[in-house]
């Protein structure tokens, strides 16, 4: 563990520390090395500073164009290079996508995400994609897309159509990236994210764990995300789904505690971002999912599929939410954060009682800081 001590410049001056964009490797490594209970305590404390701890943002993902992707991502069943038995499908009709969005909204989703297996969208397809965005927005849903790499012009067109979020994952650390993908570079991904940000859209970017990477690669991934000029508003943390026919079909399972640690560290160093419990949930039991929520995950996908891999059914998620006392985050809370409010301190009115979620308990922070000296650096 690092011997880094909290400096006066990093010590919080108020109950809600400012965001940082200068995380060092030894600091983040020390977070990963904390005793498990200490790490989860810190993550939950930070989580309560910025979010209602009993609300989870709910999205639905729709594959608008499936398979035949020219990229060689070793984890992906949609790559044309691997025989996974996946049947390729053309771009969906706009009306069909709108119907899927209506069903998603009726199931409780507040955001509708659309994914296409492209290296980057072709000019002939972009007008249809733009109409999809407009149609979904008209339903009162937030919109998100993942279409591969974008240039500045494409980013501007999607932003003008009203696209709220664009997803483009970094997948792993820069050092390990070449072992996963060779058909596009890490800088290609960073350039797309910059084009998205410059166009005024929100960034959704995270990675996949369990691809044979080491802990330092998970450290590197999170540092890359947290040290961006602006943190991604949404950070999906995916557990590898091993698909027969892909190069990663026989990889060993990632230890569940290592996955939870990744969620917790993401929460601590990107405190205002939604951390999404994403692919791989089908393989997680309810206890592991509950632990992920406690570690700071506060976004999921409803529905049976994540593009082409299984996902828990919406009804199962609703049952789990009920057992845990979790509610879907209302769209109003999303709007509150967009306008600069603090949704974490939102009152929860139920049966006439008003519960205020306090940002933190000062005494608890001080006690934890004494037990784990890195704490002040971790949350400031």
Q: Which residues are marked as active site?
A: 69, 73, 76, 113, 144, 204, 276
Tokens of 164: 């709220």
Name the region of 234 (left: φ>0; alpha: ψ -120 to 50; beta: rest): beta
Nearest to 150 by CA among 198, 214, 80: 198
Specify the DSSP element, H or E, that contains 324.
helix 314-324
CA distance 64 to 307: 9
Q: Tell me the sheet residues that pair with 355.
A: 348
How do 309-310 and 305-306 pair as beta strands? antiparallel
CA distance 234 to 164: 11
Q: Tell me the sheet residues that pair with 158.
A: none
Q: Is 144 helix (H, G, I), strand (E, B) or coil?
A: strand
CA distance 80 to 76: 10
User: In the chain, where do the E strands start and end?
Assistant: 55-65, 111-116, 142-146, 165-167, 202-204, 207-209, 234-239, 274-277, 299-302, 305-306, 309-310, 327-328, 348-350, 353-355
| Cα dihedral: 336, 339, 342, 343 (round 10) | 20
Residue 187's CB is within 10 A of a number of other CB atoms, namely 10
Residue 207 to residues 8, 9, 37, 49, 307, Cα–Cα distance (Å): 33, 31, 24, 24, 16
């Amino acid at each position: 563990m690092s011997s880094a001590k909290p400096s006066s410049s990093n010590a919080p001056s108020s109950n809600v520390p400012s965001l940082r964009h200068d995380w060092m490797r030894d600091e983040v490594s020390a977070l990963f090395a904390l005793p498990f209970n200490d790490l989860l305590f810190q993550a939950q404390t930070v989580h309560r500073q910025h979010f209602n701890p009993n609300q989870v943002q709910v999205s639905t993902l729709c594959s608008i164009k499936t398979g035949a992707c020219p990229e060689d991502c070793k984890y992906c069943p949609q790559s044309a290079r691997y025989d996974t038995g996946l049947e390729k499908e053309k771009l969906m009709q706009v009306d069909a996508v709108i119907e899927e969005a209506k069903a998603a909204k009726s199931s409780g989703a507040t955001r509708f995400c659309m994914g296409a297996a492209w290296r980057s969208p072709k000019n002939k397809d972009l007008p249809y994609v733009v109409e999809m965005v407009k149609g979904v927005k008209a339903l009162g849903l937030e919109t998100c897309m993942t279409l591969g790499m974008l240039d500045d012009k494409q980013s501007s067109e999607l932003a003008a159509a009203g696209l709220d979020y664009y997803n483009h994952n970094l997948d792993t650390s820069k050092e390990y990236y070449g072992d996963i993908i060779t058909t596009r570079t890490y800088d290609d991904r960073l350039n797309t994210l910059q084009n998205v940000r410059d166009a005024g859209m929100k960034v959704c970017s995270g990675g996949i764990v369990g691809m044979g990477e080491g802990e330092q690669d998970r450290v590197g991934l999170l540092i890359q995300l947290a040290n961006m000029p602006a943190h991604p508003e949404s950070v999906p943390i995916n557990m590898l789904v091993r698909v027969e026919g892909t190069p990663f079909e026989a990889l060993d399972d990632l230890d569940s505690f290592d996955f939870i640690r990744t969620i917790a560290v993401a929460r601590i160093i990107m405190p205002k971002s939604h951390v999404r419990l994403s692919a791989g949930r089908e393989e997680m039991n309810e206890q592991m999912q509950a632990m992920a929520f406690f570690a700071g995950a506060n976004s999921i996908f409803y529905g049976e599929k994540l593009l082409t891999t299984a996902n828990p059914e919406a009804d199962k998620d609703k049952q789990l939410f009920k057992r845990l006392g979790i509610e879907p985050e209302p769209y109003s809370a999303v709007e509150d954060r967009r306008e600069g409010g603090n949704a974490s301190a939102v009152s929860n009115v139920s049966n006439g009682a008003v519960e205020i979620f306090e940002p933190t308990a000062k005494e608890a922070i001080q006690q934890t800081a004494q037990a784990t000296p890195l704490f002040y650096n971790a949350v400031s």
